[in-house]
Amino acid sequence: MYTSVTSICARFSTSFSLGVFTWQRLILGMSGSLHPLAAVCQVTATPDKEANFSACKQLVEEAKQRGASMVFLPEGFDYIGSSREETLALSESLAGDTISRYTQLAKKLELWLSLGGFHERGHDWEADRRIYNSHVIINDRGDIVSVYRKSHLFDVELPEKGVSLKESAFTIPGPSLVAPVQTPIGKVGLGICYDLRFPELSVALQRHGAEILTYPSAFTVATGAAHWEVLLRARAIETQCFVLAAAQVGRHHEKRSSYGHALAVDPWGEVLGDCGEEKPGLALVEVDLGKVRSTRRNMPVQQHRRDDAFYCSLPQT
């Protein structure tokens, strides 16, 4: 009996990848059991926006060739600046050139894009020179269908780990969550990087119908090694959702490096794809929503959840 490969992360030659996928489609297509494919990408962004777009475009095109319906790019896919001043100077509005190029790419290739952490100029940019960290979803017609602005900002000092970042120095926290988006792979709930540490967000998205959670990220090497996989698996297990997490990897400039390990996790908490810690690439993952339904049916955690008042019933201290 043929068993499908649910994750392919190694960078095979295009001809070999296409051959594997074509064979897989022919075999599974006859049984009616082929599920949509998502591509979870790993990149090394720098302050060079043109080079970053070229690298991301190549991954998106490869994902399309290999049969993906939706492609996930990480936080900072547009660039990672080397200073506050550079980060702000390179920022754009949603109507700017960067997002325009990605809407054209999505339309040309006829696939959905998750752009996981765009440096969007704030609504009062001319007055305060502050930005949002925005997660943009583009459909296969090139339309922006959802924008989530990161609500939890990474202000962390870990001197013993060599980590010192203060995102709030130039970033505005997003005002609210956004409803999960219906896509070709399922209903996707949006987060960004540090949001991963707040289970209230994932539970809220699951309650509003999310079948897939996504956390495009640029985790530091220190925090990634300690917490990345365990947090992603925990979010999948507690919500019984797929979790897809595109990631930055390697050295962006002399001041910053990222952990890598772009990851895909199923509703049981099993890791389906891991891009490692060395170089850019992608994981191609089969999204079988039957796993969501069966996991929730067999272990009906949400039915066992008490009402909100119960969890607020402890006395104040």
Q: Catalytic amino acids? A: 75, 150, 193
- 3-class SS of residue 195: helix
Q: In angstroms, rounded to a whole number, what is the distance separating the alpha carbons of residues 128 and 90?
A: 16
> Rounded distance, CA 230 to CA 271, Å?
10
Element (H, E) at 62: helix 49-65
Strand 256-259 to strand 247-253: parallel, antiparallel, or no bridges (unpaired)? antiparallel
Residue from 217, 278, 208 nearest 244 by CA = 217
| HSE, side-chain direction, 13 A CA sphere, residue 142 | 11
Alpha carbons within 13 angstroms on the beta-carbon side of residue 38 total 31
DSSP 181: E
E-strand ranges in 122-235 read 131-138, 144-149, 155-158, 163-166, 181-183, 186-190, 212-214
Q: Which residues contact 253 (CB under 8 A, 6 or more apart)?
A: 46, 47, 80, 82
> How many angstroms from the chain centroid is the CA of residue 287?
15
Q: Which residue has the tokens 């609500």?
A: 151
